[in-house]
């Protein structure tokens, strides 16, 4: 595994273009509750990238992985203290430039990975990867929610959780694997990757359900502490297990992509379609909630007017 910033251009030029995979990690600075660092998505994104690259070289020794420096950008961040968000177009344009640079230099496979699962961010990555692939005739692939979701739903993970020193099964397993912002899963990953940056207070944090956000007006510290889910359930061994499964699945997909196989041939649903369904469902839920609020407000005004008359 090579790091782009540590090698010279002759060393890069000496690599077999058809057997080299360029990895690009792009994740923002974003708040993740009072217990996790603002760089959580950066650490998890880099963790995924390094683990997938290592598995790629181990399982497919004909390939060489080159890791580009992390790009600290992301869209769809929580509008909260410490978050730095950029428009999706900027995420797309940056990846277009990076993809074009490596394509110009003859590299045939570029993999973009993120630890941030904001829908606008992931869709921008998908658009950039698709455009680079078509324009330059190479393979650029954005790995994000699809890979993560497949790992969380896999029988391998369920079996692995049952074999942990303190087994996780049933309802406890489901609660821990819910991929909520700053919840048990992200906290578990950070306990494995950067335990010194996780504040011990996470064990005292009360669970927060996602639907509580609907009742709040604005993302302020007075109404929301910056996380969803139950961070107190987090475990380092779970974070290690999830990372290992994501790495194996990611390495297999990268190897297929580098060999020129299409996603359709691998039975993988493109992320844009999955995210589109999520966005539509979220929009429907918010629309229903807004309509209900309007009806209730209208009813209350009618009631007040009736009393006044």
Sequence-separated (6 or more) residues with CB below 8 Å from residue 35: 182, 187, 198, 199, 201, 202, 205, 227, 231
Query: What is the span of the domain harbouring residue 148?
Result: 2-164+242-288
Q: Is residue 42 part of a domain?
A: yes
Tell me if 157 sits within 8 A of 151, measured CB to CB: yes
> For residue range 13-66, what is the model confidence (pLDDT) as tens digits?
999 999 999 999 999 999 999 999 999 999 999 999 999 999 999 999 999 999
Beta bridge partner(s), residue 24: 112
Q: Tell me the C-alpha distance between 141 and 132, whole Å.
A: 9
The CATH code of the domain that includes 40 is 3.40.50.10310
> For residue range 178-214, what is the model confidence (pLDDT) as tens digits?
889 999 999 999 999 999 999 999 999 999 988 776 6
> How is residue 253 written in tokens?
């997909």
> How is residue 94 written in tokens?
């940056």
Dihedral angle over CA of 62, 1, 118, 197, nearest 10: 150
Q: Is residue 70 part of a domain?
A: yes
The Cα angle at residue 158 between residues 156 and 160, in degrees rounded to 5: 65
Query: What is the greatest pairwise CA distance in the chain?
Result: 86
Q: What's the domain count of the chain?
A: 1
pLDDT at 220: 64
85-96: buried (b, 16+ CB within 10 Å) or exposed (e) per residue? bbebeebbebbb
Q: Does the predicted TM-score (pTM) go above 0.95?
A: no
pLDDT at 108: 96
Q: Is residue 13 part of a domain?
A: yes
> For residue range 224-280, what is the model confidence (pLDDT) as tens digits?
899 999 999 999 999 999 999 999 999 999 999 998 875 443 333 343 444 344 444
Q: Is residue 56 part of a domain?
A: yes
Sequence-separated (6 or more) residues with CB below 8 Å from residue 124: 75, 88, 89, 91, 92, 95
Q: Is residue 174 part of a domain?
A: no
Q: Is residue 137 part of a domain?
A: yes
């Amino acid at each position: 595994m090579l790091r782009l910033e540590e090698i010279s251009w002759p060393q890069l030029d000496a690599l077999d273009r058809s057997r080299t995979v360029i990895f690009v990690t792009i994740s923002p600075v974003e708040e993740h509750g009072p217990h996790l660092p603002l760089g959580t998505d950066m650490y998890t994104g880099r963790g995924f990238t390094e683990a997938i690259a290592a598995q790629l070289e181990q399982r497919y020794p004909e390939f060489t992985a080159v890791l580009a420096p992390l790009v600290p950008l992301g869209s769809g961040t929580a509008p909260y203290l410490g978050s730095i968000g950029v428009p999706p177009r900027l995420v797309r344009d940056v990846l277009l430039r990076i993809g074009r640079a490596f394509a110009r230099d003859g590299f045939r496979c570029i993999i973009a990975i993120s630890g941030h699962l904001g829908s606008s961010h992931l869709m921008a990555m998908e658009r950039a990867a698709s455009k680079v692939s078509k324009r330059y005739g190479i393979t650029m692939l954005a790995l994000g929610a699809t890979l993560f979701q497949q790992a969380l739903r896999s029988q391998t993970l369920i079996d692995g959780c049952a074999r942990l020193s303190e087994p996780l099964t049933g309802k406890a397993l489901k609660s821990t694997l819910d991929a909520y912002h700053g919840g048990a899963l992200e906290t578990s990953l950070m306990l494995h990757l950067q335990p010194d940056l996780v504040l011990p207070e996470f064990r005292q944090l009360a669970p927060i359900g996602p639907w509580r956000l609907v009742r709040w007006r604005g993302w302020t510290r007075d109404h929301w502490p910056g996380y969803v889910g139950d961070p107190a359930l987090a475990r380092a061994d779970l974070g290690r297990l999830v990372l290992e499964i994501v790495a194996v699945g990611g390495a297999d997909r990268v190897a297929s992509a580098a060999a020129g196989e299409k996603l359709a041939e691998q039975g993988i649903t493109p992320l844009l379609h999955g995210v589109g369904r999520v966005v539509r469902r979220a929009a429907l839920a918010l629309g229903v909630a807004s309509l209900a609020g309007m009806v209730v407000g209208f009813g209350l005004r009618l009631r007040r007017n009736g009393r006044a008359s």
